[in-house]
């Protein structure tokens, strides 16, 4: 059951409806969900949802006159983000500060396309979910092309496809969910590699992007590499699992202009020192990207390691500044 507050009720758009109707925000709809529905959608029981609200302030649902909790889509997205951090080993008591940093990073990278609306993204996501539920890859391919015709890469991946991917990843124990996740994961990895290959050229700066063992999934690394690329930066990706001890030899032979280490794991106490020792043995500058970059930013202040953040637009801008020598570390 959902409770809807509707200004104008849009019709359910068929897959082949005009993409411009999806890209506009003329029709608005806000849905509020009761706690039992949120529990069903996220797999988190109501007792835990209440504890996250009361004890940690992680979510702030609205209340009806009778005191019942109602959750917005943003609240549901926050619950899924909390689950993702807990899965990575972060204590629930520390998740709040991480979410606040992430929100701050996204606000810094305000897009120039203000007309883009999360309502539009949600409608696209519903169509992607429908294609996955039916294991309909041709339809998924068509949707991918339509979405790319409407939005730039950061929106396509970070705001539309990756939230669906993350949602399915967290619910793989449910019947059918793992198959849907595997289909989407394979599809997006293929498209990312394709776009990275097409974009290769005579760029001015060659940047090597790597991920340490168990620090992220391959798709997360490929998406980050794609978002870091621009006309002046040629990205070379080395699949996840590169030992830190091998990076000096790899960089010596490849001679990149810079090394970007991508990680979505909370950094351990020794991680900043490990990066510092690595940087001393390299002939190229080193930067850190991904969720770890936000979490380790304070501990890396004053070191040669640049923190690029975890948001696509911000990462690319900071990498350009870093290569030009204009980013403080």
Tell me how far apart the alpha carbons of residues 203 and 254 are, in angstroms, rounded to a whole number: 15
Has residue 291 been placed in a domain? yes
Does the residue 68 lie in any domain?
no
Q: Are strands 205-211 and 258-262 parallel, antiparallel or unpaired?
A: parallel
| Poorest-pLDDT segment among 42-46, 161-165, 224-228, 251-255 | 42-46
Q: Which stretch of 76-80, 107-111, 156-160, 184-188 has the lowest confidence by average pLDDT?
A: 107-111
| Residue 218 pLDDT level (bands cut at 50, 70, 90) | very high
The Cβ-side half-sphere exposure at 220, using a 13 Å CA radius, reads 23
pLDDT value of position 115 = 47
How does pLDDT run across 240-273, given as a tens digit for each residue? 888 888 999 999 999 999 999 999 988 888 888 8
User: What's the distance, CA 17 to chain centroid?
Assistant: 28
Rounded average pLDDT over 18-24 = 41
State what percent of residues in the chain have pLDDT above 70: 83
Give pTM, 2 decimals: 0.75
Note down the domain range covering 289.
203-323
189 close to 218: Cβ distance less than 8 angstroms: yes
Distances (CA, A) of 238 to 89, 126, 222, 242, 283: 25, 33, 9, 8, 18
Query: Is residue 90 included in any domain, yes or no?
Result: no
pLDDT at 17 exceeding the cut of 90: no
Is 76 inside a domain boundary?
Answer: no
Q: What residues form DSSP beta bridges with 235?
A: 207
In the prediction, which pLDDT does 85 show?
83
Q: Is residue 81 part of a domain?
A: no
> What digits encode the pLDDT tens for the residues 277-325?
889 889 899 999 998 888 888 888 888 899 998 888 889 999 989 888 8
Whose tokens are 């801008």? That residue is: 317
pLDDT at 10: 37
Residue 22 exposure: Cα atoms within 13 Å on the Cβ side? 23
Summary mean pLDDT of the chain: 83
Report the CATH number at residue 318. Answer: 3.40.50.280
Query: pLDDT grade, residue 219 (50/70/90)?
Result: very high
Closest CA to 316 of 248, 272, 258, 256: 258
Higher confidence at residue 295 or residue 326?
A: 295
> Is position 80 within any domain?
no
What is the mean predicted confidence (pLDDT) over 60-68?
90
pLDDT of residue 112: 46
pLDDT value, residue 214: 85
In total, how many domains does the chain have? 1
- Cα torsion 100, 221, 267, 294: sign: negative
Higher pLDDT, 72 or 28: 72
Per-residue pLDDT at 20: 41
**pLDDT per position as a tens digit, 69-116:** 999 988 988 898 888 888 877 888 888 877 777 666 555 554 544 445
Residue-wise pLDDT for 195-207, tens only, equals: 988 766 655 688 9
Sheet of strand 306-309: strand arrangement: 233-238, 205-211, 258-262, 286-289, 306-309
Question: What's residue 2's pLDDT?
Answer: 53
Mean pLDDT of 138-152: 94
User: Would you say 32 and 70 are in contact if contact means Cβ atoms under 8 Å apart?
Assistant: yes
Q: How confident is the model at residue 143 (pLDDT cuts 50, 70, 90)?
A: very high
Question: Which residues, listed in sequence order, are joined to residue 33 by a DSSP beta bridge?
Answer: 71
249 domain residue, yes or no: yes
Per-residue confidence (pLDDT) for residue 287, from 0 to 100:
94
Q: Does a structural domain hold residue 150?
A: no
Q: Looking at the predicted structure, is the pLDDT value of residue 12 above 50?
A: no
């Amino acid at each position: 059951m959902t409770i809807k507050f509707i200004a104008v009720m849009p019709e359910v758009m068929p897959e082949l409806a005009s993409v411009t109707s999806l890209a506009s925000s003329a029709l608005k709809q806000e849905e509020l969900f009761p706690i039992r529905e949120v529990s069903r959608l996220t797999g988190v029981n109501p007792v835990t949802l209440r504890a996250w609200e009361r004890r940690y302030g992680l979510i702030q649902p609205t209340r009806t006159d009778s005191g019942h909790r109602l959750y917005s889509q943003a609240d549901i997205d926050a619950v899924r983000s909390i689950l993702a951090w807990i899965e990575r080993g972060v204590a629930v008591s520390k998740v709040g500060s991480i979410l606040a940093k992430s929100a701050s990073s996204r606000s810094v990278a305000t897009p120039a396309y203000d007309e883009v609306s999360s309502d539009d993204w949600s409608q696209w996501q519903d169509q992607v979910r429908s294609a996955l539920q039916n294991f309909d890859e041709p339809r998924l391919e068509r949707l991918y092309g339509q979405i790319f015709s409407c939005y730039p890469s950061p929106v396509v991946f970070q705001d539309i496809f990756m939230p669906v991917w993350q949602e399915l990843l967290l619910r793989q124990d449910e019947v059918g969910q793992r198959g849907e996740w595997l289909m989407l994961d394979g599809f997006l990895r293929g498209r990312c590699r394709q776009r990275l290959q097409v974009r290769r050229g005579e760029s001015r700066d060659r940047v090597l992007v790597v991920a340490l063992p168990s620090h992220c999934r391959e798709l997360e690394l490929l998406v980050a590499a794609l978002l870091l690329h621009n006309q002046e930066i040629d990205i070379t990706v080395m699949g996840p699992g590169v030992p830190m001890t091998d990076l000096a030899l790899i960089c010596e032979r490849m001679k990149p202009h810079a090394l970007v280490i991508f990680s979505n794991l909370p950094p351990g106490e020794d991680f900043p020192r490990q990066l510092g020792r690595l940087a001393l043995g390299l002939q190229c500058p080193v930067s850190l990207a991904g969720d770890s970059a936000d979490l380790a930013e304070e501990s890396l202040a004053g070191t040669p390691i640049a923190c690029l953040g975890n948001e696509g637009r911000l990462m690319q801008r900071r990498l350009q500044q870093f290569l030009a020598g204009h980013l403080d570390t």
